Chains A and B, each alone.
Chain A
């Protein structure tokens, strides 16, 4: 069974600085998808970024980028130029499509003004 591990329960970053959230996963599949979701206080799950395992190029969405290391089964999220609105719970997830997502336990990110 697939598992997702987020080893940082809480992180903090100064406004305008850069922060990296860690995620590792375990799977025997060769083709899969990885996601980072953000859950603000409203609790709405918002897609931040998605990575397809067969693509070597790291995904990037504006200030958000990932460092995908397939051999190491590592999928970290880098947030550049952090903003107050980035404060939220961040969940790393494996799966997608017509298969259920497997979530990590989440990392609570605080942004300090």
Chain B
């Protein structure tokens, strides 16, 4: 099956610093990747849709200046949490679908645990 990686798997940072999370599709190309956020014992909440070569589409209530998304290539999307605060602590997951077309299964990265002190 298709493999998606995320780096780092977990990060602890001080309040006010920025953190970059990478999402890579290892064995397929993806024009679209998705970023989700998951709080403990809750479902996944879509944050944004990352489009290769264009601006990301953010969900309502998600601050695009705080959560910067860059989809630089067909295999890499990055999420940067700028000026992180404790309330940004969460589990961030990316997903991607092979480029072939609609309806393809989305494959998920292993997630990144972010703790802001």
B is bound to A? yes
Q: Which residues from chain A sit less than 8 Å from chain B, CB to CB?
A: 32-33, 35, 37, 42-47, 50, 52, 91, 96-101, 103-106
A96 touches B105 (CB 8 A): yes
Q: Which of B31, B42, B104, B110 is the one whose CB lies under 8 Å from A96?
A: B104
Q: Which of A91, A96, A104 is the one whose CB lies under 8 Å from B97?
A: A96
Which residues of B sit under 8 angstroms from A32, Cβ to Cβ?
103
Number of residues of chain B lying within 8 A (CB) of chain A = 24
- Cα distance A50–B107 when bound, in Å? 12
Min CB–CB distance A93 → chain B (angstroms): 8
Min CB–CB distance A33 → chain B (angstroms): 5
Main secondary structure, interface of B, reads loop
Q: Does B116 contact A (CB under 8 A)?
A: no
Min CB–CB distance B54 → chain A (angstroms): 13
Minimum CB distance partner of B38 in chain A: A43
Which residues of B sit under 8 angstroms from A37, Cβ to Cβ?
108
Q: A91-B43, A100-B46 are in contact. Are A45 and B103 (CB under 8 A)?
A: no
Min CB–CB distance B34 → chain A (angstroms): 5
- Cα distance A43–B114 when bound, in Å? 14
Q: Does B101 contact A (CB under 8 A)?
A: yes
Q: A45-B93, A96-B106, A97-B97 are in contact. Are A104 and B43 (CB under 8 A)?
A: yes
- Cα distance A2–B46 when bound, in Å? 14
Minimum CB distance partner of B49 in chain A: A100
A33 touches B103 (CB 8 A): yes
- Cα distance A113–B86 when bound, in Å? 39
Which residues of B sit under 8 angstroms from A100, Cβ to Cβ?
34, 46, 49
Q: Does B102 contact A (CB under 8 A)?
A: yes
B32 touches A43 (CB 8 A): no
B105 touches A43 (CB 8 A): no
- Cα distance A43–B109 when bound, in Å? 10
Min CB–CB distance A79 → chain B (angstroms): 19
